[in-house]
Structure 1
Amino acid sequence: MGYFFITVKKLVLLRLVFFGIVAFWSCNNAETKRAQTIVSGKVEVVADETLLPVMEEQVAVFEHLYDRTNVELTSAQENQIIRKLLNKEVEVAVLTRQLTEQENQFFKARKFTPRVYKFATDAVAVIVNKQVSDSVITLDHLVKIMRGEKSTGSLNQLVFDNPNSSTVRLLKDLAGVDSLPANGVYALKSNLDVLKYVYETPQSIGVVGVSWIVRPDNGTKKYVEGIKVLGVKGREGEPAGGGYYKPSQSNLADSLYALARPVYIINAEPRKSLGMGFAAYLTGESGQRVILKAGLLPDSIPPRELIIRK
């Protein structure tokens, strides 16, 4: 008889434990489902590597404002990001161009159109070692190097972050070439590598995203202090061709800098989720303030608050 009651007690206990686990799992599962909103949950964002510093700041501020969010930020080269989007490996991306008609066909085949929002204007900075006496350069000079032509002066070695990067694509488009020349142009692995190379090689010209040099962190500060940014003269007949201009926000606003480019967030989520919330943040006042502090041009200038003291 005693053995019977002990067995019954064990069965009751096991059932209680089982239903407790089920209830706990159900609550957690329901909470996870509830958490996937435009202001909570988890999203993976892949950004153009030239924009990584400013996007790291954006994610830090966004997660501080919305503490139930988790933005997993990674960076890659432009071609890699496009491939990830088309293969559905990632749904939210930050690029310096919109999708082409051919790329959009992949989404049209799925009967879906990604949402695209412009939230900034970036500048591609042209840098040299501080020991170099030159302080300006022409776009024509850069184009000649990209075409493999001989150009005057001592600065004839152009260094990029990666052969598949957005900066290479920009200069290739301006030069009207499909590939890099055999001599005079070199591609490394990252923007940080370009900073290091120019720091150590006085005869080189580096091409980097401006956010890498405006607010350098401890890992890049040494190299940024050893380089300088050149003023760039654009093509004749264009606003940027009237003088030599540096990649400042005022020059970007007045279309005076020849190597400016738009920045977009592309949201390919098929549902209303955190990607939409992150895009709204980037285009809103808080996100635009981060853009302003990072040296890029915000798509909408945040209002300034004046405190008048009596």
Structure 2
Amino acid sequence: MLVVSDLQAKLRFQGQTKLPRWMGSAFRGGLGHQLKGILCPSIQEECSICSEKEECFYYRVYEVKESKRGHAPPPKPLIVVPPFFGKEMNWRRGGDIHLRILLLGEEGIRHAPHVIFSLIQLGMIGLGSERAYGMNKFRVISVTSQGETIFNGSEMRIPPPSIDVREVDPIEGDRFRVYFRTPYTGRTFPLGPREFLSRTRNRLIRFVNEYGDSSYVEEPEAKGRILRFEKHVHFLRRKSERSGKMTLTGFTGIIDYEFSEIDEVGRWLLGVANLLGLGPDSSFGLGFVKVTRLEDSH
């Protein structure tokens, strides 16, 4: 169906640091600049006329405009999921954060060394506009995946571990708590139980069609209700060549669900949500969640 590598990078910011409340756009843009410098054989040439573009990972991540199916922009094989603080962070003497990196499909996984090296170079320059003032520089302390060290600060292990989404463990139980770790940018919040599973399935379908084997993703059978929820609204600014500057409305918070019926496909999709998230704007690290049994959340 779809193989995925889930990397966790520990970054140590040094000296004066000023991080925006949402770092998805800054990391995506900064990594892209470094990745192009590493991979591009002719950096002055326009990607659209490059004879090697179809084999270029940078082109696949940043320049492809249409999905293999339909005309919508494709999901990206490289997804960076920074922590969402909800407020600007100012550190006088630096600090640590953990950055999640998802690589989708065999091509994405194959380029893990280039992605890690791009992250190292980005750290030397600094993240975001504050780099102009010598701020926001960081070191990549380590990169791990599935409990194994992929990069220890000097040595790298390749390829990283991966998992086929078909092997994701289902989550047992009837009551679940969903923590929205990064903003969800769908139209409504909270999502009902069936809608949560549907939005998870929709994101998975797009990933499987673009970077997997295009196999059918079964629909779940489920009935349930929302027990309680907490909602926080965020307005996120982003910029892209396709749509220009725009503001996204996103939601974080907690939703507690109780299912009166849920089949194995539904339980599996709850596990998939832990890995791949749900909803739109995955390219900017949005819509990522943690799903636990409600009994385990206390």
Band the TM-score falls in, shorter-chain normalisation: under 0.3
Name the structure with the higher helix share.
1
Greater strand percent: which structure?
A: 2
Q: Structure 1 length normalisation: TM-score?
A: 0.25
